[in-house]
Amino acid sequence: MSDKTIVVITGANTGIGYEAVKAFLTATQPYHIFVGGRSPEKVESAIASFGDTGIHTLVPFQLDLLSDESITAAYEKISSEVDHIDALINNAGAATCDPPTSRASLLQDYNVNVAGTYVVTDVFLPLLIKSSNPRLLFLTSGLSSQEEAGQSNSPRYFNPPAGWPKAPGIQFLGYRASKTALNMVMIDFERLLKNDGVKVWCVSPGMLATNLGGNPELLKKLGAGDPSLGGVFIKDVVEGARDNDAGKVIQRGKVQPW
């Protein structure tokens, strides 16, 4: 085990998390990857789909970001098997497409993407800081950029006719706000962990055709890229390609404006 890079990935049975596992399996250096997801059956199925993993090891674990008990159980399982982890990849998340209609609907993405992710990080940090090269990644979004959201020439900026209430439409408001908050969570962990030698990023993979947006085929028609791009991006960050941009929100090839 000592010769393997130990990685924990949440939400890894589908989408970008799944593609990240696939990317790690192409590496010439060995990885020991804990593959997390809400459904144990789906995680096992995802692992089986990779077939022979060669020099790499895949280990399933159950994790529900809405359950502190689930998070604690995941930590206890992993800490019973390894004495440290080298990378914690907070990939699991939620995106509500519908306009918020109540306090509960506005908070549901926040509860997963911010509160749940914070608890996972807080619980797993004792293992991470024992690494000789610890890395902490948070999966954010281009929709989290406040600078771009406020620019009238942004393709994401829409100015509806006067009057209230506005006509219903897909807003992703809860998702966008939660990912903007997650960027702040990253900044705080970067500050707190600087003296522990932990490199921290928010990784913004770009618009990719995953189930997170509800309709991958529609996203492709809108120009979304293949999810594998996000998986390779995550692998590159873990392997040091963006060390000079630690503490920032990074996209492929650039730093995302705040």
Query: What are residue 185's phi and psi, to 5 degrees?
Result: -60, -45
**What is the reported pLDDT for 168?**
65
| pLDDT of the residue at 207 | 63
User: Using CA atoms in the order 25, 117, 38, 231, what is the torsion angle rounded to 10 degrees?
Assistant: -20
Task: With beta carbons less than 8 A apart as the criterion, state whether 234 and 23 touch.
Answer: yes
What's the rounded Cα separation, in Å, for the pair 207 and 205? 7
Question: For residue 20, how many C-alpha atoms fall within 13 Å in the half-sphere facing its CB?
Answer: 33
Q: Is residue 159 part of a domain?
A: no
SS3 at position 210: coil
Please tell me the distance from the alpha carbon of residue 189 to that of residue 171, in angstroms, as a whole number: 29
Assess contact for 46 and 58: CB atoms under 8 A. Answer: no
Closest alpha carbon to 12 in 87, 111, 98: 87
Whole-number pLDDT of residue 48:
98
CATH number, domain containing residue 101: 3.40.50.720
Question: Helix 103-110 and helix 173-192: axis angle, to 10°?
Answer: 40
CB 86, CB 6: distance < 8 Å? yes
Other CB atoms within a 10 A radius of the CB of residue 72 amount to: 12
pTM of structure: 0.92
Quickly list DSSP for 192-249: HTGGGT-EEEEE---SB--GGGS-HHHHHHTT-B-THHHHHHHHHHHTTTTGGGTTSE
* From 22, 179, 199, 248, the catalytic residue: 179
Q: Which helix (H) or strand (E) holds 6?
A: strand 5-9
Per the document, the length of the chain is 258
Nearest to 98 by CA among 82, 109, 85, 89: 109
Tokens of 215: 């309709």
Catalytic residue at 179?
A: yes
pLDDT, position 45: 98
The number of folded domains in the chain is 1
Specify the pLDDT at position 158.
74
pLDDT in 10s for each residue of the chain, 258 residues: 669 999 999 999 999 999 999 999 999 999 999 999 999 999 999 999 999 999 999 999 999 999 999 999 999 999 999 999 999 999 999 988 777 778 888 899 999 999 999 999 999 999 999 999 999 999 999 889 999 888 888 766 677 889 988 776 656 788 899 999 999 999 999 999 999 999 999 999 876 556 665 565 555 555 556 778 899 999 999 999 999 999 999 999 999 999
188-202 core/surface letters (b: 16 or more CB in 10 A; e: else): ebbeebeeeebbbbb
End-to-end CA distance of the chain: 39
Q: Could you give the dihedral angle defined by the CA atoms of residues 138, 89, 208 and 155, in that order, rounded to the nearest 10 degrees? A: 10
3 state DSSP class of 143: helix
Q: Is there a domain that residue 93 lies in?
A: yes
Query: Is residue 19 one of the residues assigned to a domain?
Result: yes
Q: What's the rounded Cα separation, in Å, for the pair 10 and 252?
A: 21
Domain membership flag for residue 237: yes
Q: Which of 141, 144, 178, 204 is labelled catalytic?
A: 141
Q: Would you give the distance in Å from CA 99 to the centre of its chain? A: 23
From the candidates 175, 204, 235, 248, give the one annotated as an active-site residue: 175
Q: What is the per-residue pLDDT for 202?
A: 98
| Host domain of residue 238 | 5-146+172-255
Flag whether 225 is in a domain. Answer: yes
pLDDT at 81: 98
Residue 242 forms part of a structural domain: yes
Q: Could you tell me if residue 137 is inside a domain?
A: yes
* pLDDT number for residue 5: 98
Note if 228 is an active site residue. no
Residue 152 lies in a domain: no
